[in-house]
Amino acid sequence: MVLSVEVSEVVEHTQWLTQEESRNLTVDRLAQVREEIGDVMIYLTELADKLVQLKLSFVSRFGAKECQPRRLCDCMMPPLMT
């Protein structure tokens, strides 16, 4: 499955680094990680949409009230702590 390959490409960038090193990636490596994460998001979104109708999967997970009228991605992410 393409999704697992893309996830492994994200992991490749940090798997042998310490936690501190993984938090301080070079600009080039961070750009590569961003691209790979974008690929993961694309394939996962396509998979979810094809298999379970994406909006329904969010509603079943977070509830209809929680996902309306905000954008679907808002109900996936808790507010950032300051």
| pLDDT tens per residue across span 36-69 | 999 999 988 888 777 777 777 777 777 766 555 4
Number of domains observed in the structure of the chain = 1
| Residue-range definition of the domain harbouring residue 9 | 2-76
Q: What is the pTM (predicted TM-score) of this model?
A: 0.62
Q: Is residue 23 part of a domain?
A: yes
pLDDT of residue 9: 92
pLDDT over 80 at 79, yes or no: no
Q: Comparing 10-14, 60-64, 78-82, which segment has the lowest mean pLDDT?
A: 78-82
Q: What are phi and psi of 55, to 5 degrees?
A: -60, -40
Q: Is residue 82 part of a domain?
A: no
Q: Is residue 68 part of a domain?
A: yes
Q: Is residue 19 part of a domain?
A: yes
* Spatial separation of the C-alpha atoms in residues 8 and 21, rounded to whole Å: 18
* Spatial separation of the C-alpha atoms in residues 4 and 10, rounded to whole Å: 10
